[in-house]
Structure formats: structure tokens, C-alpha cells
Structure 1
Amino acid sequence: MQKKYETVVNKIGESVSAFLGDKMLILFGENAPAELADYCLSITVNDIENEIKTGDTLQLGERKYTITSVGDAVEKNLTSLGHITLKFDGSEQPELPGTLYLEDSEIADVKQGDIIRIY
């Protein structure tokens, strides 16, 4: 399988769990505004190597999730700010441009140092 994107979780904000009930994780590069950083997984900003499409796989640590839809701004936001939302609700129509929608499932515990990979 061809890798399309890869980054690492550098830091986990203290309030990341606030969005788990909404089945969401928020990613942001190292330059996240202070008022948002507590709610985000801080990641290294990297370029996307290939277009991210519905049906691709997102791996977060050891867990794999199928991508069900891709917001219009996901690729641009990932490469410029590292800022997107991961929503684990199985939506097939992207409601928000900066959101990557994944299969409806429980979100695995995320640890500092986990790799996030899309292929």
C-alpha cells in the first residue's frame, strides 16, 4: 500500500478527551494558538504525498480506520497548519471542509509518539 501521509503525535492537550464524546480528535501543528492547544493532538506538519480519498485507511498508533469522506480543505490544512478534525462517525458526505471522516467506531487511546499514517 502506498503511503500518502505520515506524522507523529508530539503532545496531547490536557482537554483532548473533551471531544471524545463527540467522536472527534483535533490535530494541529506545533503553532496551534494557545487557547486551542489544550484541545488538540500536536503533530509535526508534513507534506501529503498523494491525494487522500474515500476508502483510504488512517492508522492511529496500532488502530486502523477506513476513511468515509474527505472535506475539501483537509489536504491544504494538513500541509499548511497540520490542522484538521478527525470525526469517527461514518459520514459519507463531508459536512465541514477541514474534517476527515472515518468509520463509526470507538477511538483508541492515543499516546505521545504514536504515528498517524494515511495510505
Structure 2
Amino acid sequence: MTTIYQTTINQLGPDVSAFLSEKMFILFGQNAPAELADYCLLIDVNSVEGDIEAGDKLLFNDNAYRVTAVGSVVKQNLGALGHITLKFDGASEAELPGTLHLEEADIDVPEIGSTVQIVKN
């Protein structure tokens, strides 16, 4: 496996669980606007080392999820701002440019200190 991206969750916005029923999380670097920060998993902003493609894996909350679709600005936004939406819906086409779609799954709010990785097999 080759790691394309890795970061750590440093803070959980108090309203992160508001999106659990929609099977999604919002990632954002520490510079998240105040009106969004309450809904975000706040992470370290790190560079993305390669293209993110369908078939790659997201390792998150001690589970692996297959990437099913990648929005056109996911790599750019993740590397520059740490800001993308993770949507666990199995969509084969990106709904929005900043959304990373993953295989459909039930999700739980991660703990502070959890690692998020994107890897190629």
C-alpha cells in the first residue's frame, strides 16, 4: 500500500454528529470559518502525494472504506485547506466538487487523535 494522504483529527466540532444520519463528515483544517467549525472534524493540513481515484481506500476510525467517486477539487482543497466532505453513500459520480464518496457504510464519530489516511493498494 502507498499512502497518498495522512492527517490527524485534532478537534471535534460540537455538532459533528448532526450529519451522521446523512452518513457524512466534513474535514477542515484549523483555519475553518467559525460558522462551519462546529460541524467539522478539524485536522492538520497536509499535502496530498498523488491523485485520489475510485478504488483507493480511506482508512478512518479503524476501518477501511473504498473510494467510489472523487470530486474535481478534492485533492486541491484537501492539500490547501484540509477541507472536503466525506460521504459514505457509494455514489459512482461526485455530487459536488469537494466531496469524496466512499462505499456505503454506517459511521461513528471518531475520537480526537484518530488518523485519517488515503492509500492505494
- State the TM-score, normalizing by the size of structure 1: 0.98
On the 8 A contact 2:52/2:70 being kept in 1, the answer is yes
Separation in structure 2 between the aligned mates of residue 101 and residue 8 of structure 1, nearest angstrom: 20
Q: Which residue of 1 aligns with 2:34?
A: 34
Q: Which residue of 1 aligns with 2:90?
A: 90
Which has the larger share of strand?
2
The amino acid across from 2:96 in the alignment is L
User: Larger deviation: 106-115 or 72-81?
Assistant: 106-115
Q: Which residue of 2 aligns with 1:4?
A: 4
**In angstroms, what is the RMSD of aligned CA positions?**
0.7
Is 1:67–2:67 an aligned residue pair?
Answer: yes
The amino acid across from 1:100 in the alignment is L
Structure 1 moving runs of 4+ over 6 Å: none
Is 1:18–2:32 an aligned residue pair?
Answer: no
Q: Deviations over 1:58-117 (max 9, x none)?
A: 001311100000000000000111000000000001110000000001113300000000
Aligned residues: 119
Q: Which runs of 5+ in 1 are unaligned?
A: none
Q: Which residue of 1 aligns with 2:115?
A: 115
Separation in structure 2 between the aligned mates of residue 22 and residue 113 of structure 1, nearest angstrom: 24
- State the TM-score, normalizing by the size of structure 2: 0.96
Separation in structure 2 between the aligned mates of residue 86 and residue 9 of structure 1, nearest angstrom: 14
Q: Which runs of 5+ in 2 are unaligned?
A: none
